[in-house]
Amino acid sequence: MNSVPEVPPEVSSRFLPYEDRRSHPMQPHAKDELNEVLRALSIPFDLPVVQWRITEWSDDGTRGMMMPYADPRAYSDRLNDVFTPAGWSRKYAVQASAPVQRSKRGPAAKILVTCEVTIACIGTNSGTGEEWSDKENALTGAEAQAFKRALSCFGLGRYLYDIDGQWVELDERGFPTKIPKLPRWATPNGWLAGLRPKLKRNRHALIRANGHANDGGRPSPETNDHRQSLIVAIEATESKIGKRLYRGLLKNIARVWIPQQIQETSVLEKTLAQMQGAERGMARLEAAQARLAPETVQRVISSLNAPPAKLEDLQTLHTLVVALEREADAETPP
């Protein structure tokens, strides 16, 4: 099925010159045409292409939050229609981490995929995807995630990130009793008519509502003061734990880039607790490294594929610290 909606002739006709100019550098006067192509990539997919899946469940299991998504083939179909198959390419790089012990499941490695997508006369963007190795079709899932994230940098499929999840009732088998409808702005006709998304709601607040409506009350000044103090305390941890781990924790806990984007006080408190745990972990890491010869430290780090400068989560930090401390204890005479 064609994933490209019908666009006005004055827009679609501007795609054609790119087929003739793929082998030539972009000229300054082509900027307007480039913008038209990028706008065409940002148009939502046709409605039959968009699917829904449950990403969160209520505490009692009777409701599920559904989010829209599109199959990777919808993305490649759009590229083929706009640029032809010869006008774009993609390249994958696959890595696997050392197996790590998880708290509620058995040990597994992380499959890490980087996808580079190149569009002639526009450029190259990359995206990353990851999945646990014990999950069925882990590599396929990580590749699809990386591919779609790379294309979102060009604007393709990016609108899906602006759609709020919707809570629906589930039947006795756990299937949704109805499929949500897309907002009008997220349809090709609505988008081409100039409709755009409103300010996105806080997804964590929506999840915490557990399918029920929030009271919608405004926070008190005391709440705002407490919230600001939490933000300041979180920001202060960046210099102590390193930017990579700091950003990784923000992403894993709250799905944000900066703590100011966190609206829920409880999420701020959880984030601060994790940051402080990371501080203690880094202190233990430095102490363990000081007790060992550099070559021993490097051997342990290499065996776990966990260089300290690239740590992004507490579980990997904990695994590395415990391994180094055990090594140090084994070398210490009784």
Buried b (16+ CB within 10 A) or exposed e, 102-116: eeeeeebbbbbbbbb
Q: Which residues of the chain have pLDDT under 70?
A: 1-29, 104, 199-225, 332-334
Q: Where are the domains of the chain?
A: 9-201, 221-331
- DSSP H or E run through 111: strand 110-119
What is the spatial distance between Cα 317 and Cα 306, in angstroms, rounded to a whole number?
8
pLDDT tens, residue by residue, 136-156: 899 999 999 999 999 999 999
CB 133 within 8 A of CB 108: yes
Identify the pLDDT of residue 50.
96
User: Under a CB-based contact definition with an 8 Å cutoff, are residues 218 and 290 in contact?
Assistant: no
Cα–Cα distance, 41 to 45 (Å, whole number): 10
Cα–Cα distances in angstroms (integers) from residue 79 to residues 13, 35, 82, 118, 280, in the given order = 16, 16, 5, 11, 48
Read off the pLDDT of residues 59-93 as tens digits, 9 standing for 90 and up. 777 889 999 999 999 999 999 999 999 999 999 99
Task: Give CATH for domain 9-201.
Answer: 3.30.390.80
**Phi/psi at 194 (5° precision):** 100, 5
- Please indicate, yes or no, whether the overall pTM of this predicted structure exceeds 0.85: no
Taking residue 171's Cβ as centre, other Cβ atoms within 10 Å add up to: 9
